[in-house]
Amino acid sequence: MSAAKHTGYNLLGALIPISVSLLTTPIYIRLIGEARYGVLAIVWSLLGYFGVFDLGLGRATSQRIAALGNSSPQLISSTFWTALAMNAALGSFGGMLIWPVANYYFRYTISLGSDLRSELWPALPWLMFAVPLTTMSGVVGGALQGRAQFLELNVISVTSTVLVQTLPLIVAWGFGPDLALLLPAVILIKFFTFIAGFWRCKIHVFRDQAPLLACSDAKSLLRFGGWVTISSLIDPLMSILDRFVIGAKVSASAVTYYSVPFQLGERSLVLSVAITSALFPRFATANAIEREQLAKIALRSLVAVTTPVMVVAVLLVEPFLGFWISPEFAANANGTAQILLLGFWINGVAAVPFAQLQGAGRPDVTAKFHMAELLPYLIALFVGLYIWGLPGAAAAFSLRVVGDCVLLLWFAEMLPSEVATLRVPALLLLGALGSAIGWTFCSTMWWLAAVSLSVVALGWSLWCAPAEMRELAIGVLKKLLASMREALR
């Protein structure tokens, strides 16, 4: 099992949809309007939260199948079918609940015009079909991950994500920006995605084994998945609650000014997700010493790559938003985006000990931490939003993930050794934030700060990176310089 190769598959599988999203998001906003886009962002958040009816069985399936390794096909098949049957039932139950919840929120909580309401009501019932498709797809994806089929899993994921980002756009362009048409188009894509994943599981997971449900498998999966469910319940709640509060207290357009930078920040997790997804099966089978070594190498590699990238991103996000969407949008979303980028950087770091603990069979630890974080985060969110508006909500999110990262590193016994690793990049990122806020873009002081911070960040990353990564980077840099000298001759 090559973690580097699988990380490459995961990375490529994330970068392609990001590229498509960068192209389609401004078109969406211009074509359907900020208010309608904000409604869609809330709908996707609501659907994502109802994925909690997975009860952690997707993650549990991945961990269980990876731990089984080359055990008998009957055991692997039994695990798969038991998890799939449970998630089909749980997803159906969640589907029956999501429509009245969505109906209540959009009718009584958020301020919508009559035209948007008339579009939304016939579209909401489609969410009932989306929830079971989401929960069952979680088991299918977890099973393929447990069997280390990262290439096929990413092909399916990329195809699905690209279709989700483009088909509704085509529908809006051809038939008009009607929510009653856009939502069914996405649900149809989710159905074909599940079918494609199930077909690959037939080859790699259950093969020719007849469907078999086992109470022992159900108990084992629920024991692991129960703790994952608590994290899956609380973590998405903390991640999407801000948009619901903003929509209720401010406006649907304000949700767009927050959700677009938030989505950009989520995209910065691409490398973190790629690494931890590839290592998760390894964490499930390794002993304690091997897990700790894998986690430290992964964390230092991740920080070495993401720190200089994030320093540049914080400095350039304002002109990027102005070019990508509009100067007016950048003026409203810039401060929020800068703060969220810092939060997502530390969130990416936290993903390493998170995956390590869950892979080791300790999802209870991550769940307990999330429970402890919920109330302080809610208080910080309301206070931040009331005092500073959207940047205050972003600051509440960033402070919450800092606390989460510290707790995870501490329990994974990585905190003392990794504090020194994280101290310098944290200072560099805070320096980038101060420079972006304090000086006008392209002014003399801005250039001085930007160049200095970028050079220091790159030099620190080369020094901090694991030896193999450093040698690879230096080799690539030498070849690049040699090519440039050759071209200048």
Query: Mean pLDDT over residues 112-121, rounded?
Result: 73
Are 1 and 69 contained in the same domain? yes
Q: Is residue 195 part of a domain?
A: yes
Q: Is residue 377 part of a domain?
A: yes
Name the least confident of 183-187, 290-294, 385-389, 485-489.
485-489
Q: Is residue 337 part of a domain?
A: yes
Are 113 and 208 contained in the same domain? yes
Q: What does the alpha-carbon distance between residue 83 and residue 139 come to, in Å, rounded to a whole number?
A: 7
More confidently predicted of 348 and 103: 348
Name the least confident of 90-104, 268-282, 299-313.
268-282
Q: Is residue 326 part of a domain?
A: yes
Contact 321, 337 (CB under 8 A): yes
Are 111 and 152 contained in the same domain? yes
With a CB cutoff of 8 Å and minimum separation 6, the contacts of 317 are 261, 264, 334, 337, 338, 341, 436
Taking each helix axis from N to C terminus, what angle separates 390-411 and 415-438, rounded to the nearest 10 degrees?
A: 160
Domain boundary residue among 267, 302, 336?
A: 267
Query: Mean pLDDT over residues 200-215, rounded?
Result: 76
Domain boundary residue among 267, 294, 325?
A: 267
Asked whether the predicted pLDDT for residue 89 surpasses 80, the reply is yes
Considering 154-158, 263-267, 303-307, 482-486, the range whose residues carry the highest mean pLDDT is: 303-307
Are 299 and 205 contained in the same domain? no
More confidently predicted of 385 and 233: 385
Q: How many CB atoms lie within 10 A of CB 328?
A: 10
More confidently predicted of 115 and 324: 324
Are 68 and 98 contained in the same domain? yes
Query: Mean pLDDT over residues 27-34, rounded?
Result: 76
Q: What does the alpha-carbon distance between residue 261 and residue 243 come to, in Å, rounded to a whole number?
A: 12
Asked whether the predicted pLDDT for residue 344 surpasses 90, the reply is yes
Q: How many CB atoms lie within 10 A of CB 107?
A: 12
Domain boundary residue among 236, 267, 298?
A: 267
Which tens digits make up the pLDDT trace of 288-326? 787 888 888 888 888 888 899 999 999 999 899 888 888
pLDDT of residue 431: 92
Are 133 and 234 contained in the same domain? yes
More confidently predicted of 26 and 221: 26
Query: Mean pLDDT over residues 357-368, rounded?
Result: 79
Are 376 and 413 contained in the same domain? yes
pLDDT of residue 374: 84
Name the least confident of 299-303, 327-331, 462-466.
462-466
The label of the residue with tokens 């649907």 reads 252
Domain that includes residue 28, residue range: 1-267
Are 82 and 221 contained in the same domain? yes
pLDDT of residue 428: 92
Asked whether the predicted pLDDT for residue 275 surpasses 60, the reply is yes
Asked whether the predicted pLDDT for residue 352 surpasses 70, the reply is yes
Asked whether the predicted pLDDT for residue 359 surpasses 80, the reply is no
Q: Is residue 272 part of a domain?
A: no
Q: Is residue 50 part of a domain?
A: yes
- Looking at residue 113, the DSSP 8-state letter turns out to be -
Are 376 and 468 contained in the same domain? yes
- Amino acid letter, residue 81: W
Q: Which two tokens stand for residue 245?
A: 């509060």
pLDDT of residue 385: 85
pLDDT of residue 66: 77
Q: Is residue 273 part of a domain?
A: no
Q: How many domains does the chain have?
A: 2
The per-residue pLDDT of the chain, averaged, comes to 80
With a CB cutoff of 8 Å and minimum separation 6, the contacts of 101 are 46
Contact 185, 171 (CB under 8 A): yes
pLDDT of residue 339: 94
Are 262 and 352 contained in the same domain? no
Q: Is residue 132 part of a domain?
A: yes
- Amino acid letter, residue 119: E
Taking the CA atoms of 44, 48, 49 and 53 in sequence, report the sign of the dihedral they define.
positive
Name the percent of the chain lying above pLDDT 70.
Answer: 85
Asked whether the predicted pLDDT for residue 427 surpasses 90, the reply is yes
pLDDT of residue 236: 63
pLDDT of residue 216: 66
Query: Mean pLDDT over residues 447-475, rounded?
Result: 80
Are 84 and 158 contained in the same domain? yes
Which tens digits make up the pLDDT trace of 383-410? 888 888 888 989 999 999 999 999 999 8
Q: What does the alpha-carbon distance between residue 306 and residue 457 come to, in Å, rounded to a whole number?
A: 10
Are 327 and 445 contained in the same domain? yes
Asked whether the predicted pLDDT for residue 1 surpasses 50, the reply is no
